[in-house]
Amino acid sequence: MKIQLLGTAGGDFRRVDDPEDKFGYLPRVRELGGKNLRCPAQAMIFPDILIDFYNGDQIDKFDIAPESIKHLLITHNHWDHLQPLRILEFAAALPHPLQIYGSHNVIEAIKFANTYDFDRSSGRFIIRKKQTDVEYYKLEPAQSYEIGGTTVDPVHGNHCMDKSDNMIMQDVCLNYVFERDGKTIFYGMDSSYTLPLTFEYLRKFRIDVAVMDMTFGRWPIDVDKSGHHNLDMLIETIEEFREAGIFHEETTILVSHISLAFVEPHDDLKDELSKMGIILAYDGQEIEV
């Protein structure tokens, strides 16, 4: 099984040209270029599964044949992972109906965008003239699905949460476990500390490759306000997964969904993480398992 990380950025990737840079990382990111530049988080599980869709730029950049993409899995309804109009545009150019998978909210959002246009002059939604031929599948966490030749188990990620005061879950963010030919890949984006029932469900897997959320690197975050890990939190999660046998000796651990403004550029951080057994991902990185 092979995964390619087409994009590895957190939601602040558009700040790369921001002159108001708090930490001073952005000028260095611009200067270094290459692996230090990041586009929105997106990944390909070969041969036919794409995860998340901000736009199709990275699909072109890394020479993925669009017609090879049969299944689109969406993690959650944040704009850097889900752009319904761009998905429909991409699907309309395919020779087959794109099969789209996600939470109830994600599927309803894409259906809505396929049903209505917003008419700015009247301020009303109007029925779209032409709908794109796609197929929708609502996923539930902690269940197994056969998607193409791959077994896919979505699990509930700790994200899209308005936490302590309001306790409102805004979407069932889905992290995904992929299994094929006896190998297992975990795509844990976006997520903060693992939810207890997700942790219990994950115990049945021995993950070979894990792509984990390390959005804030060494920045001390307020866990109440954030649906992500920083490095210290991630280390706790990795320990928990190791103790439970979810990660084993040989598990390859990559970190992605990296903030450009809060985290050192790739070239400056990768060696330090590598000493901890963590690989700092970059756009285009391929991992075969």
Going 151 to 96 to 3 to 256, the CA torsion angle's sign is: negative
Q: Are 103 and 143 contacting, i.e. CB atoms less than 8 angstroms apart?
A: no
**Nearest distance in Å: CB 85, Zn ion:** 18
- Closer CB to Zn ion, 71 or 81, in the complex: 81
**Shortest Å, Cβ 78 to Zn ion:** 3
Q: 187-246: which residues touch Zn ion (CB under 5 A)?
A: 190
CB–CB of 216/262 below 8 Å?
yes
Give Cα separations from 90 to 55, 56, 83, 107 (angstroms): 8, 7, 11, 16
C-beta of 7 vs 11, nearer to Zn ion: 11
We find the least distance from the C-beta atom of residue 119 to Zn ion, in angstroms, to be 29
Measured CA to CA, the distance from residue 158 to residue 186 in angstroms comes to 15
User: Taking the complex as a whole, how short is the minimal distance between the CB of residue 277 and Zn ion, in angstroms?
Assistant: 24
- Are 98 and 84 a contacting pair, CB within 8 Å? no
According to CB under 5 A, which residues from 175 to 194 bind Zn ion?
A: 190
Task: Return the number of the residue (26 or 106) whose C-beta is nearest Zn ion.
Answer: 106
Which residues within the stretch 31-50 sit at the binding site for Zn ion (CB under 5 A)? Answer: none
Largest pairwise CA distance in the chain: 60
Pairing mode, strands 278-280 and 247-256: parallel
Please state the closest distance from residue 154 (CB atom) to Zn ion, in A: 15
In terms of CB distance, is 228 or 266 closer to Zn ion? 228
78 is an interface residue for Zn ion by CB under 5 A:
yes
Q: How far is the CB of 47 from Zn ion (least distance, A)?
A: 25
Whose Cβ is closer to Zn ion: residue 213's or residue 264's?
213
The tokens describing 221, both together, are: 């975050």
* Segment 2 to 21, residues that bind Zn ion, using CB under 5 A: 11
Yes or no: say if 285 and 34 are a contact pair by the CB < 8 Å rule.
no
Reduced to 3 states, what is the DSSP secondary structure of residue 36? helix
In the complex, which residue's CB is closest to Zn ion? 78
Picking from 169, 224, 178, the residue whose alpha carbon sits closest to that of residue 51 is: 178
Closer of 52 and 153 to Zn ion (Cβ):
52
Q: Which stretch binds Zn ion (CB under 5 A): 56-64, 72-80, 95-103, 232-240?
A: 72-80
Name the residue type at position 87: I
For Zn ion, the closer CB: 210 or 289 = 210
Smallest gap from residue 285 Cβ to Zn ion (A): 18
Q: How far does the chain reach from its first CA to its final CA, in angstroms?
A: 5
Based on CB atoms, which residue is closest to Zn ion, 266 or 289? 266
User: For residue 149, what are the CA distances in angstroms to 29, 65, 275?
Assistant: 39, 18, 36
Distances from the Cα of 199 to the Cαs of 74, 95, 182, 244, in angstroms?
21, 39, 21, 9
Give how many residues touch Zn ion by CB under 5 A.
4
Stretch that binds Zn ion, among 54-62, 76-84, 85-93, 148-156 (CB under 5 A): 76-84
Residues 91 to 150: which contact Zn ion by CB under 5 A?
Answer: none
How far, in Å, are 73, 83, 112 from residue 127 at the CA level? 26, 19, 10
What is the closest distance, in whole angstroms, from the C-beta atom of residue 190 to Zn ion in the complex? Answer: 4
Binding residues for Zn ion, rule: CB under 5 A, are: 11, 78, 80, 190
